[in-house]
Amino acid sequence: MDSQHENYQTVSITKTVPVYPKLLYPQKVLNLSNLDRQCPILMYLVFFYKPSHAYKNLSLNLVFNSLKSGLEETLSVWYPAAGRLCPNRNNGKLDLWCNNDGAVLVEAVTQVKISQLGDLSQYNDFFEKLVYKPVFDGNFSKMPLVVAQVTKFGCGGYSIGIGASHSLFDGPATYDFLCAWASNSAIMKAKGGLEQPKPVHERGTLLMDAKLSKNPNSVSRAAAIDHLYQLIMQAGSDQNLSHMNQKSYLLRTFHLSSAMIESLKRKVVGEREEVALHAHPLMWLQLTCGRIRALGLKKETMVCLQFAVDTRNKMVPPLPKGFSGNAFVLASVALTAGALEEQSHETIVERIREAKNSISNDYVKAYVDALEGPQASLPPLKELTLVSDWTRMPFHKISFLHGEAAYASPLVSPIPQVAYFMQNPNDSRGIDVRIGLLSHTLDSFSHYFLKDVQ
């Protein structure tokens, strides 16, 4: 019975082809910033399109060829995505060789029906079969920077699993790239493709030597980096640290409706109409409190909330519209577990606001400068809560096929405990929170995270 079940869940690859730019760009080396070099691996996102009458006349071959022609056109403008990472001859750091080596597109089929996957917002190991994972043996110069797999399900629905190197794009740039690709596909063109902003690939001011260009009276250190070092030092004596790895975490998605968010705000603010609390920092704090309580950390333990801030408009001058590289740095709030428990939500939300407002041109330069040394993987730090806010990037609205995706699901990230705040396709004012949790904390986290919003 088990073998039959495994066979039924098989995804069979029927075609694998390289995809080259329609118009070849002259070869060049694009210098990457230290922000780009933090995570060169492929980050995956799976789009699910449930069976529809609109797909009746769509064969898998037609869908595949439409995506291929759209990608060829897109790579002509987003030409770095057709290149490869390469070590800089002078310092050994990764840069981007725009050599037109191309992306990879895969066609696949499965007997599985999308309905059998259950709630698409909840991560499923089966999702890993819906993306193409190239073998490159740690040699990034052999790794394609964009890969995609279109899979036709037994029910007639489709998934499109896409991987893109984080050295290429950050979240907003990935969103723009995928929108451009969908707009260029033949299926979209039949409906009238949308005009896309022209990308700017040069890293510009993010390549400047922070030591030479900083104001001597300005910020000299990045708080987020300092807090990470402090957490690592604190964790050095933790005997359980070596037993924590990606497999220790379970990915779960929690849906917070607009009513639940308003309920939390009322409990914090009460009837004081003059007090305005923004929902997102409040939810980040609720998440942090839930994690720390579930872990049962001692009151004197240092804990930290870090969240990504887009620096496009923080730089002087601002980064150009359409900037396609990595432009996010981490803002940070550190305090003890006891203070987290004892201080009011309003007080800590104000600290979050201050941390966000502290991100300036000089902070970014200090942050980039701090990344100048040898890079190493961040060890698992249970005291660290990381938040990545995707709510301004409605990936599910990208119409590779007819209509929006039923769901766009990120797969396991290099730091599994990072919390993604995402739009929900069925509740425009609600939020989906995807987070990796240690298995023994799942029930207690669910209780603490949701107890003030229900």
Catalytic residues: 166
Task: Strand 302-310: give its sheet, edge to edge.
Answer: 249-256, 427-438, 419-424, 384-389, 302-310, 328-336
Please state, as a whole number, how many other Cβ atoms lie within 10 Å of the Cβ of residue 373. 8
Q: How far is 67 from 132, CA to CA, in rounded Å?
A: 15
Q: How far is 181 from 189, CA to CA, in rounded Å?
A: 11
Q: Give the DSSP H/E element, type plus range, for residue 422.
A: strand 419-424
Dihedrals phi, psi of 104, to nearest 5 degrees: -130, 135
Strand partners, 87: 94
Closest C-alpha among 107, 111, 87 to residue 97: 87
DSSP one-letter code for 323: B
Q: Given its phi and psi angles, is residue 137 left (phi above 0), alpha (psi -120 to 50 degrees) or beta?
A: left
Q: How far is 237 from 383, CA to CA, in rounded Å?
A: 13
Q: Give the DSSP H/E element, type plus range, for residue 289.
A: helix 279-295
C-beta separation of 407 from 48 below 8 A? yes
* Cβ neighbours for 134, distance < 8 A, ≥ 6 positions apart: 42, 104, 143, 144, 147
Q: How far is 409 from 132, CA to CA, in rounded Å?
A: 15
> Residues, the chain, total?
454
Please give the radius of gyration of the chain, using alpha carbons only, rounded to the nearest integer: 23
Q: Give the DSSP H/E element, type plus range, for residue 161.
A: strand 158-165
Strand partners, 84: 97
C-beta separation of 96 from 30 below 8 A? yes
Q: How far is 330 from 232, CA to CA, in rounded Å?
A: 16
Dihedrals phi, psi of 351, to nearest 5 degrees: -65, -40
Q: Give the burial class of 75: count Cβ atoms within 10 A of its Cβ; 0-12 exposed, 13-18 middle, 19 or more buried.
A: buried
Q: How far is 437 from 249, CA to CA, in rounded Å?
A: 5
3-state secondary structure of 133: coil
